[in-house]
Amino acid sequence: MLGKILLLLAVLIHSVLPSVTPERSRTSRLSRGASGEQFKKLVVSKELVENSKKSIAGRQRLAVCAAKDPDCQAISVMFNAALPYAQNFLLADATTVATFIKAEEIVANVTVSQVSQWAKQLSVDWLVVCRTRESGERIVELYQCRDQTCALKETNAVATSSIEAMQKTCEAVSKYLKADFGPHAAKLPWMPVHSKEALIEIAQGYQLILGSVGVEDESQRQAIAQEGLRLSESALTKDPACIQAILLQASCHDILGQADALKETLKKGFMVRKPENPDRLAMLEFEGDYARYVQNNREGAAAKYMEMLEIDPNHLRAHWSLIETALDEPVVAVDAETLKFVAEHAAAIVAAHPGSPIATILEK
């Protein structure tokens, strides 16, 4: 499980909430699974990182950002939910994007020069910008970035604020990108839930808890988790079967050390889940968390997280969940083979998600 510090991703977005930027510590307890003592043993060598970079060579890096507009943010969520299924792209996680691009900076008259600066900071080949024009019209712009400069390649206006119109816009941009969704092309999770408000609340909650990774001040971490819990509860009142909201709620209980509440949340989720949910990544994450926390089946949990990586080899939450699961035992039981396994997944995060809060800590 991404547990209390992540995320979904299938569901990450550039949120309207301020970024969490307190001092981070590599030796602070990141989770119950990866304690300080265990984490200090972890060595992420340059060789491992270079090997991970070679494994993702050829994939185009893409980031999605959105202005302070609910519809623009909902469109951003759709892209962040669907693009991990594209076999020829590597999607930057939304919290990394939020580190470099603030929602209030994405205004009606955003310049190509500004977009080029963002793309350089994020090291991406493509940047999707969801914003509003001065007229109030919502648009999605696609910039191609080469040689530290960007060029506007496509602009799609969103006809209405309906779910259907947003989905058509996402489909149009993906078609222009020639995104290869392989076996998932027939049914993509453009909209994980039916409520735009719930989508945004979930995304805000995940950005908060992901941004809290490595924060040393326990009271601050607790406050972040409480706010995430509030957002998850609000989202669940709008869509009680939303698996992403259930995952967020479980993560917050995990941060707060509320083991019984965490299990109850996952048990309720098991009862209301919809196995036909097109967002297979979210379902696998839930099944892995359920196996780990409810069934105490670490091997079963790891198998689910590995299946996530078969769909998206760069999935940040899947890599981190495997790290947590592997280190979820007494320090004395963490042998050299386990540490090697953990280091490989840590290197994959550093290679695929440079600038993310987790990668920043792992590199120290």
- Residues 322-338 have a mean pLDDT of 76
Separation between Cα atoms, residue 63 and residue 119, nearest integer Å: 8
Express each pLDDT in 185-212 by its tens digit.
888 876 555 677 887 888 888 878 776 7
Other CB atoms within a 10 A radius of the CB of residue 75 amount to 33
- pLDDT of 164 over the 90 cut: no
- Residues 46-54 have a mean pLDDT of 91
- Reported confidence tier of residue 40, pLDDT bands at 50, 70, 90: low
- Residues 33-37 have a mean pLDDT of 49
Q: Is 182 helix (H, G, I), strand (E, B) or coil?
A: helix
Mean pLDDT score of the chain: 83
Express each pLDDT in 209-265 by its tens digit.
776 776 777 888 889 899 999 999 999 999 888 888 999 999 999 888 899 999 999
Question: DSSP strand E in the chain: where?
Answer: 60-66, 89-91, 126-132, 138-146, 149-157
- Reported confidence tier of residue 139, pLDDT bands at 50, 70, 90: very high
Q: What are phi and psi of 20, to 5 degrees?
A: -90, 110
Separation between Cα atoms, residue 247 and residue 132, nearest integer Å: 31
192 residue type, one letter: P
Q: What is the pLDDT of residue 38?
A: 65
- Residues 141-161 have a mean pLDDT of 92
Separation between Cα atoms, residue 35 and residue 343, nearest integer Å: 15
- Reported confidence tier of residue 270, pLDDT bands at 50, 70, 90: very high
- pLDDT of 156 over the 90 cut: yes
The residue written with tokens 């991970």 in the block is 52
As its CATH architecture, domain 59-184 has 3-Layer(aba) Sandwich (3.40)
Express each pLDDT in 307-320 by its tens digit.
999 999 999 889 98
Q: Write down the domain spans for the chain.
A: 3-54+192-362, 59-184
pTM, entire model: 0.84
The residue written with tokens 């900076």 in the block is 105
- Reported confidence tier of residue 36, pLDDT bands at 50, 70, 90: low
- Residues 269-293 have a mean pLDDT of 90
CATH code at 3-54+192-362? 1.25.40
Q: What is the pLDDT of residue 219?
A: 86
More confident of the two residues 186 and 157: 157
